[in-house]
Amino acid sequence: MATLLFKLRGVPDDEIEEIRALLTDNHINYYETTAGNWGISMPAIWLHNNEQLEQSKALLADYQKERAKHAQQIYAEQCHEGTQRTIFSIIQEAPLKFVLYLLAILFVLYLATVPVSFLFAS
């Protein structure tokens, strides 16, 4: 019976490729399901053989630890070099976009609070 190993929704393409390679290199029988045409199904990696589940989980746990360690190293390097994106650098990259989003947020807040203020005003 097939067993769910790893859900793929929201997973970057490079990580999916590395997981496929990891499973293939370790001779683990798997197959993938997609989100389907409408994107409502569950994209995932499934195992054909339940006997390989523990080995697969251990491999994935090790892989994810290494990936997290690598991402933390990149983040630390970017912070040290001063190239890590901050909220201020994002605003500087697209000030018009920031202003438009801010106006949209304020408009929604206005629409959400005006009817309530009329209830309490009378």
Q: What is the pLDDT of residues 78-115, one digit of tens each?
A: 989 988 888 998 999 999 999 999 999 999 999 998 88
Q: Do 20 and 74 share a domain, yes or no?
A: yes
Same domain, 66 and 109: no
Classify residue 43 by burial, with Cβ atoms within 10 Å: 0-12, 13-18, 19+. middle
pLDDT band at residue 49 using 50, 70 and 90 as cut-offs: confident
Domain residues for the domain of 120 are 90-122
- pLDDT for 1: 74
- What whole-number distance in Å separates Cα of residue 16 and Cα of residue 33? 12
Q: For the whole model, what pTM was predicted? A: 0.70
Based on the domain organization, do 40 and 58 belong to the same domain?
yes
Distance CA 25, CA 31 (A): 14
Number of domains within the chain: 2
Residues 21 and 70 in one domain: yes
DSSP classification of residue 82: T
Q: Within this chain, do residues 46 and 96 fall inside the same structural domain, yes or no?
A: no
Tell me, letter by letter, the H, E, C secondary structure of 45-59.
EEECCHHHHHHHHHH
* Same domain, residue pair 71 and 104: no
- Over range 53-60, report the average pLDDT: 95
Contact 18, 62 (CB under 8 A): no
Written as six digits, the tokens of 63 are 């892989």
Instruction: Report the CATH number that the domain containing residue 39 is assigned in CATH.
Output: 3.30.70
9 and 61 in one domain? yes
Give the Cα-Cα-Cα angle 66, 54, 56 (nearest 5 degrees). Answer: 45
Residues 63 and 25 in one domain: yes
Instruction: Verify that 59 and 42 share a domain, yes or no.
Output: yes
